[in-house]
Structure 1
Amino acid sequence: MTQRRARSKEAIQQRYNDILIRTRKLFLKKDYSDITLASIAKDLNISRPSLYNYFTSKEELFLALLKQEYLICNKTLKKIFTGKLPTETFCQELIQVFYQQPLFIKLLSLHTIALEDKCGYDVMSQFKEDTLPFFKTQFHIIRQQFPEATEENCWIFLQRLTTLSQTFYQYANIPKDQIEIMAKLKTFGSAPLLSPEDYFARILVDFASHLE
């Protein structure tokens, strides 16, 4: 099959979107290490040099994908959190927002420092600027939920949530055989392994106790 080049602005934007869509589908099925720019180019029937016109590295491509997920989540947060809720409900719904985006939590599990090292300062700086609205929205809903809390403590809550979010994917994907072994050995006593949503919501409720 003959390889084709994108020429018009519309075609260039469509090619850009096609690359992200295909990478999205691949990452939901495969591990990060199993995906290469070469495999994506082959799947889209374009040359690797053509792909490099859009993304100079795999890390840059995944940052673009992560940026999309941040912005999608930002819209969801604005839609759901319009007023103060009972603390437990607030924490549960906040965790559920993340788990409604399986690609997002998988992307968040990637080692951020590794991406930064490969992409360089300018790319990472632009990425952080582009995703800043997501963090501002989170801070707004935290302040809305805990109006009596100090601004500093609200930022600390957000910092903890951000760190916690990097483990959402791993906890939700503990291999079944490992769960069975831990249950047999009673690694955590007789307590059952909580669902990811319940487990992290309880942690947030504990964090929130410092804000009320």
Structure 2
Amino acid sequence: MAVELKETIDKRREEIMDACEKLYETLGFQSINIKVISTETSFSRPSIYNYFQTKEEIFLGLLTREYMKWNDALKNITDKDSVMDRDALAGAIAKSMEERKTLLKISAMNLYEIEENSRDELLVEYKRIFKRTIELFDECLKKHLKVSEQKREQIRYAFFPYMYGIYPYAYPTEKQISAMDDVKLSHRDVTVYEMTCQFLKLVL
């Protein structure tokens, strides 16, 4: 019974996070609240509070899920039988990041507020998954490029802060583009893959 109950809870949490992710594709963080999320689910607003206390906790759950998916991709890179060179590894990591648009958006735009307004135990769980991401990233560098521990640390401290800034460059708003055009600030279309791959080739 306990297992069935946990499976039911997990399924309901997933539905709520799915709804939040769908809304986040078209609405800003400030426009999304528990009431709005409830309209995209089979749950009433009071029912959602049985699973998440704040909308920030829903976003934190969504971010945690995103990192778990990225961890699977990083583990696949680490587990490859053939050893990659610098360019191949940069491309593989960039491809794994290209599939994590929601992760990049939350990290760039709302992470601080989400962490501040979530319960400690949920934040600890997120940090545990994030720690695993760092470990897998480190394992990729160690296996494929034989990078020293000191160098791996330098690369991590360069890459992860850079990662948080990718989304605004890859997905500028029309308003931002218009403002840049008004002041004749040069800009070009760039993808998550291109930005990630180019940067990794520089630091690896």
Structure 2 length-normalised TM: 0.82
- 1:5-154 aligned at under 5 Å gives the runs 9=5, 10-81=7-78, 82=80, 83-147=82-146, 149-154=147-152
What is the Cα deviation at residue 27 of structure 1? 1.5
The separation in 1 between residues aligned to 2:70 and 2:25, in whole angstroms, is 17
The separation in 1 between residues aligned to 2:113 and 2:18, in whole angstroms, is 23
What is the Cα deviation at residue 86 of structure 1? 2.6
Aligned residues of 1:20 and 1:61 also touching (Cα < 8 A): yes
What is the Cα deviation at residue 168 of structure 1? 1.8
Q: Say which is worse superposed, 93-102 or 114-123, in terms of deviation.
A: 114-123
Q: Which runs of 4+ in 1 moved over 6 A?
A: none
Aligned residue pairs, count: 197
What is the Cα deviation at residue 99 of structure 1? 1.1
Deviations 1:13-51 (A, max 9, x none): 332221122112112222222211111123324332211
Query: Using a 3 Å threshold, how does the CA distance of structure 1 residues 125 and 182 change in structure 2: closer, same or farther?
Result: same
Deviations 1:37-70 (A, max 9, x none): 1111233243322111100111111111111111
RMSD of aligned residue pairs (Cα, Å): 2.5
Matched, 1:199 2:199: no
Residue equivalent to 1:4 = none
> Identity percentage over the alignment?
21
> Which letter does structure 2 place at the counterpart of 1:102?
K
Deviations 1:100-130 (A, max 9, x none): 2322222222332222221143331222113
Query: Using a 3 Å threshold, how does the CA distance of structure 1 residues 40 and 157 change in structure 2: closer, same or farther?
Result: same
Structure 1 length-normalised TM: 0.80
Query: Using a 3 Å threshold, how does the CA distance of structure 1 residues 199 and 46 change in structure 2: closer, same or farther?
Result: closer
Deviations 1:104-159 (A, max 9, x none): 22222233222222114333122211333222111100112321x32022022122
- Structure with max Cα Rg: 1
Please list every run of 5 or more consecutive structure 2 residues that lacks an aligned counterpart in the other structure.
none
Aligned residues of 1:99 and 1:105 also touching (Cα < 8 A): no
